[in-house]
Amino acid sequence: MIWDLFLSAFVTLFVVIDPPGCAPIYAGLVKGASSKQATSMAVRACFIAALILLVFALFGEKLLGALHIELNSFRIAGGIMLFVIALDMVFEKRTQRREERADKIMSTPEVEDVSVFPMAMPMIAGPGSIATIMLLTARAEGTEQTLIVLAALGAVLILTLAALVAAGPLMKLLGSRVEAVITRLLGVLLAALAAQYVIDGVKAVLTGA
């Protein structure tokens, strides 16, 4: 049960945050930086993203309550949002938008530190990952399950950091074609997970759960 919950949360967060997709964008953003600077910015980006996601994980449900939004409504909306992200991944529109954002940053000479924007937010801690961590913690029952979800988040962020640090060599090793295939496969998986969120939300509304 514990392992199943961890694996489910890990796979969902991995697909949404998409470390393999972030790596080539980061490699392009830090092209002019030294290895030490690139590593420092990667660490800072993941740390800031972790803080943002942790805040939403712990206080997201209270925020929904303050806004008088039912959890099932958020499940359905979150599922639809993730499904749109999945479609973008399958048709490579998400990668294209990330690259356009990266080009815009790179064309502005005075912008050197990319750790906060665009890496920490919105690339790592974007609307999709924020919605996902809120959905996962809302479904968790008790402190133990919440900690398992947070452990899965920590594992994904560690992998994201590793991908960013190894971005340059990783891209040379994988190549753009392999990365495109991985992104599309992750997109299909995310579409199925998103559909399940919507189904769970609709079921709960219809049964009054």
| Calpha distance 178→91 (Å, rounded) | 15
* Per-domain residue ranges of the chain: 2-207
| Mean pLDDT in order along the chain per 10 residues (209 residues) | 89 89 79 83 96 93 82 80 79 66 60 78 84 89 93 97 84 68 76 83 82
Predicted pLDDT of residue 45 = 96
Taking a C-beta distance cutoff of 8 angstroms, is the pair 119, 45 a contact?
yes
Buried b (16+ CB within 10 A) or exposed e, 4-43: ebbebbbbbbbbbbbbbbbbbbbbbbbeeeeeeebbebbe
Predicted pLDDT of residue 122 = 76
Torsion angle of alpha carbons 20, 24, 25, 28, nearest 10°?
A: 160
Predicted pLDDT of residue 164 = 93
Those residues whose C-beta lies under 8 Å from the C-beta of residue 28, and which sit 6 or more positions away, are 99, 102, 103, 106
Q: Residue 118, preceding bond cis, omega within 30 degrees? A: yes
Question: Which of 82, 94, 102 is closest to 167 using CA atoms?
Answer: 102
